[in-house]
Amino acid sequence: MSDGGGTVADGDLSSIERRHQNGRRRSNIPVGDTFVSRLGPSGTELFAAIDDLETPMDMQRPGSNTPIEQLHFVALDCETTGHTPHRLVELGAVAFTLDQHLMSFETLVHSTDYINPFARRIHGISRETLGGAPPMDRVLARFHRFIHGAVLVEHSADAFDTRLIAQTLREPLDNDNLDTSRLASQIWDLHDTIGLERLCAQLDVHHRRPHHALADAEATAECFVALIALGRERFGWQTLADLLASGAPPAPRALAESGTKISAANNGTQARHPRRRRGGRGGRGRKPDENTTVA
């Protein structure tokens, strides 16, 4: 191969082949075979490992009339490369019921993709940080077992986290899904979404490390339990159907092998979902009083 009349040495050629399309060089990031945590447990709770054979829940998908007290939930959060197409770089989750924390799940996810500098400043993950992290397929295979029989909870009005996981798995998740920002909107009559940190402040929930996947999942789970108490008081929520009516985001979609978008809520049939208004002119409703403590 020549460059301006000269010859490129083999070492230089390999460097060019590793060069990213935007001009940045790719370095060799080693792949690991165990979970790599950034935070670790907040207490003495159980912590998932990549090769665990059992899950904290071994149940079938609950029916819509299942009482809330009998439900098992998994709150989750993803950190990504920060640009389209988004790639997973960290996954955190908490399995819980209304009464107890069952197990935590946290790992960085190996990737050689470019990480957007803005995203890197927010979550603090660089490509070098991912050295030794397990590959995405092994992480998601374990996570699929972790969420078996659970109702998923995330803080994302458009189901970003569950949609990303479903797209990566290339199949819909067989789980119902609830969004804490939509539940908050119902309780406080909001027409705009509320950020997780502000929701934590309103509900007096401790958030130990914003923009770390496990900490965001922990905060989401605690906010969810507090919102359930408020919703029961105001609306009389008793069953899964009550929660889905108030807090279900558009169903997470996956890309089928053909590239067709499919919906988990419609047995794999093609579906469209309206996007939730995310602010802008005329999009704001009554917000909770910043000086009011919500308990």
What residue type is 28 in one-letter code?
N
Q: What is the largest CA-CA distance in the chain?
A: 78
pLDDT at site 285: 44
159 in a structural domain:
yes
Q: What angle do CA 114, 278, 156 make, to 5 degrees?
A: 60
φ/ψ of 3, rounded to 5, equals: -140, 105
Three-state DSSP state, 235: helix
List the domain range (segments joined by +) for residue 145: 33-266
6 in a structural domain:
no
What is the spatial distance between Cα 104 and Cα 111, in angstroms, rounded to a whole number?
22
pLDDT at site 209: 96
Q: Quote the number of domains for the chain.
A: 1
What is the spatial distance between Cα 144 and Cα 147, in angstroms, rounded to a whole number?
6
Q: DSSP state, 155?
A: S
2 in a structural domain:
no
* Cβ pair 71, 149 in contact under 8 A: no
> In terms of Cα–Cα distance, which of 31, 220, 49, 226 is closest to 133?
31
pLDDT at site 56: 58
What residue type is 152 in one-letter code?
L
Q: DSSP state, 69?
A: G
pLDDT at site 130: 96
120 in a structural domain:
yes
DSSP assignments along 38-55, one per residue? SS--SSS-EE--TT----
pLDDT at site 199: 97
Q: What CATH number does residue 97 fall under?
A: 3.30.420.10
With 0-12 / 13-18 / 19 or more C-beta atoms within 10 angstroms meaning exposed / middle / buried, residue 197 is: middle
* Cβ pair 284, 290 in contact under 8 A: no
Other beta carbons within 10 Å of 62: 18
pLDDT in tens, 246-282: 999 976 654 444 343 433 333 333 333 344 444 443 4
pLDDT at site 255: 44
Instruction: Report how far apart the first and last C-alpha atoms of the chain are (Å, whole number).
Output: 69
> In terms of Cα–Cα distance, which of 179, 132, 101 is closest to 33?
132
pLDDT at site 217: 98
With 0-12 / 13-18 / 19 or more C-beta atoms within 10 angstroms meaning exposed / middle / buried, residue 145 is: middle
- Residues of the chain scoring pLDDT < 70: 1-27, 54-58, 251-295
Q: Kindly report the length of the chain.
A: 295
Burial 217-239 (b: 16+ CB within 10 A, else e): bbbbbbbbbbbbebbeeeeebeb
225 in a structural domain:
yes
* Cβ pair 103, 175 in contact under 8 A: no
* Cβ pair 246, 227 in contact under 8 A: no
* Cβ pair 283, 197 in contact under 8 A: no
